[in-house]
Structure 1
Amino acid sequence: MIDPIVAVTILLMAGVTYLTRIGGYVLLRNRVLSKRATAVMEAAPGCVLISVIAPDFVSNNPADLLTLAITIFAATRFSMLPTVVIGIASAGICRALIG
Structure 2
Amino acid sequence: MIDQINLLAIVLMASVTYLTRIGGYVMLRNRTLSPRATAVMEAAPGCVLISVIAPDFVSDNPADLLALAITVLAATRLSMLPTVIVGIASAGVLRHLLG
TM-score w.r.t. length of structure 1:
0.91
Structure 1 residue aligned with 2:77: 77
User: For residue 14 of structure 1, what is the aligned residue in structure 2?
Assistant: 14
RMSD over aligned Cα atoms: 1.3
Unaligned 5+ segments in structure 2 are none
User: Scaled by the length of structure 2, what TM-score is found?
Assistant: 0.91
- Give 2:29's aligned residue: 29
**Cα separation, 2, equivalents of 1:2 and 1:73:** 38
- Cα offset, 1:2, TM superposition: 4.3
Q: How many residues align?
A: 99
Q: What is the CA-CA distance between 1:3 and the residue it aligns to?
A: 4.4
**Gapped regions of structure 1 (runs ≥ 5):** none
What is the alpha-carbon distance in structure 2 between the residues aligned to residue 7 and residue 94 of structure 1?
29
Q: Structure 1 residue 28: deviation in Å?
A: 0.5
Amino acid at match of 2:77: R
Name the % identity.
79
Deviations 1:15-46 (A, max 9, x none): 21111110000000110000000000000000
